[in-house]
Amino acid sequence: MTLTDLNHMAKPKILVVDDELSLREFLQIFFEKEGYHVEKAENAKVAFQKLQTHSYDLVITDLKMPGASGIEVLRYAKEKNPDAAVVLITAYATPESLKEALDLGVTDYVNKPFRVEDLKHVVHSALEKQTLVRENIQLKAELGSRYGFANIFGAHPAMREVYELIKRVSDTRSNILILGETGTGKELAANAIHFNSPRSSEPFAVVNCAAIPDTLWESELFGHKKGAFTGAIADKCGQFTMANKGTLFLDEIGEIPLLIQVKLLRAIQERKVRAIGSVSDETIDVRIIAATNRNLEKMVANGEFREDLYYRLNVIAIRMPPLRDRASDIPILANYFLEKFTTEINRDIRKISTEAMNLLRQYRYPGNVRELENIIERGVTLELSNVVLPESLPPRLRKTGMPTDIASTVAQIPFEGLDLEKALEDFERQLISKALIQTKGVKNKAARLLKVSFRSFRYRLQKYGLDSDADAENEMDEGNDGWNQNQGNT
pLDDT score for 54: 87
- Top pLDDT among 146 and 264 is at 264
Whether residue 136 has pLDDT greater than 60: no
User: In whole angstroms, what is the distance from residue 267 CA to residue 221 CA?
Assistant: 10
Indicate the SS3 state at residue 447: helix
Distance of CA 247 to the CA centre of its chain: 18
User: In whole angstroms, what is the distance from residue 455 CA to residue 282 CA?
Assistant: 67
The H or E element that residue 33 is part of is helix 21-33
Per-residue model confidence as pLDDT tens digits over 12-45: 899 999 988 988 899 999 999 888 999 999 999 9
The H or E element that residue 144 is part of is strand 143-145
Q: In the structure, what pLDDT confidence band is assigned to residue 252 with cuts at 50, 70 and 90?
A: very high
- Top pLDDT among 151 and 395 is at 395
User: In whole angstroms, what is the distance from residue 340 CA to residue 372 CA?
Assistant: 13
Length of the chain: 490
pLDDT score for 289: 97
Which of the 8 DSSP states describes residue 482? T
Mean of the per-residue pLDDT values of the chain: 82
E strands present in 175-315: 176-179, 204-208, 223-224, 236-237, 247-251, 272-273, 282-283, 287-292
Whether residue 449 has pLDDT greater than 90: no
Question: 3-124 and 146-321: same fold?
Answer: yes
Whether residue 55 has pLDDT greater than 90: no
User: In whole angstroms, what is the distance from residue 297 CA to residue 398 CA?
Assistant: 38
pLDDT score for 258: 93
pLDDT score for 154: 73
E strands present in 180-271: 204-208, 223-224, 236-237, 247-251
Residue 425: count other Cβ atoms within 10 Å of its Cβ: 14
146-321: CATH class:
alpha beta
Dihedral sign from CA coordinates of 132, 134, 137, 140: negative
User: In whole angstroms, what is the distance from residue 273 CA to residue 62 CA?
Assistant: 31
Whether residue 291 contacts residue 177, with contact meaning beta carbons closer than 8 Å, is answered with yes
Q: In the structure, what pLDDT confidence band is assigned to residue 400 with cuts at 50, 70 and 90?
A: very low
The H or E element that residue 404 is part of is helix 404-411
Whether residue 408 has pLDDT greater than 80: no
Which of the 8 DSSP states describes residue 325? G
User: In whole angstroms, what is the distance from residue 17 CA to residue 93 CA?
Assistant: 17
CA terminus-to-terminus distance, the chain: 47
User: In whole angstroms, what is the distance from residue 309 CA to residue 75 CA?
Assistant: 41
Torsion angle of the four alpha carbons 215, 216, 217, 222, in this order, in degrees rounded to the nearest 10:
130
- Min mean pLDDT across 216-220, 374-378, 463-467 is at 463-467
CA separation, residue 302 to residues 260, 263, 297, 305 (Å): 17, 20, 9, 8
Q: Which residues contact 384 (CB under 8 A, 6 or more apart)?
A: none
Q: Which of 397, 396, 294, 388 is nearest to 350 (CA)?
A: 388
3-124: CATH class:
alpha beta
User: In whole angstroms, what is the distance from residue 116 CA to residue 5 CA?
Assistant: 21
User: In whole angstroms, what is the distance from residue 34 CA to residue 280 CA?
Assistant: 40
Whether residue 229 has pLDDT greater than 90: no
pTM: 0.56
User: In whole angstroms, what is the distance from residue 478 CA to residue 472 CA?
Assistant: 11
CATH no., domain 323-399 = 1.10.8.60
Nearest 5°: the CA angle 80, 85, 91 is: 110
Percent of the chain having pLDDT more than 90? 37
E strands present in 27-96: 37-41, 58-62, 85-90
- Residue spans of the domains in the chain: they are 3-124, 146-321, 323-399
Residue 141: count other Cβ atoms within 10 Å of its Cβ: 10
β-pair type (236-237, 223-224): antiparallel
Task: Determine if residue 35 is left, alpha or beta; phi over 0 gives left, psi from -120 to 50 gives alpha, anything else beta.
Answer: left
Percent of the chain having pLDDT more than 70? 84
Whether residue 341 has pLDDT greater than 50: yes
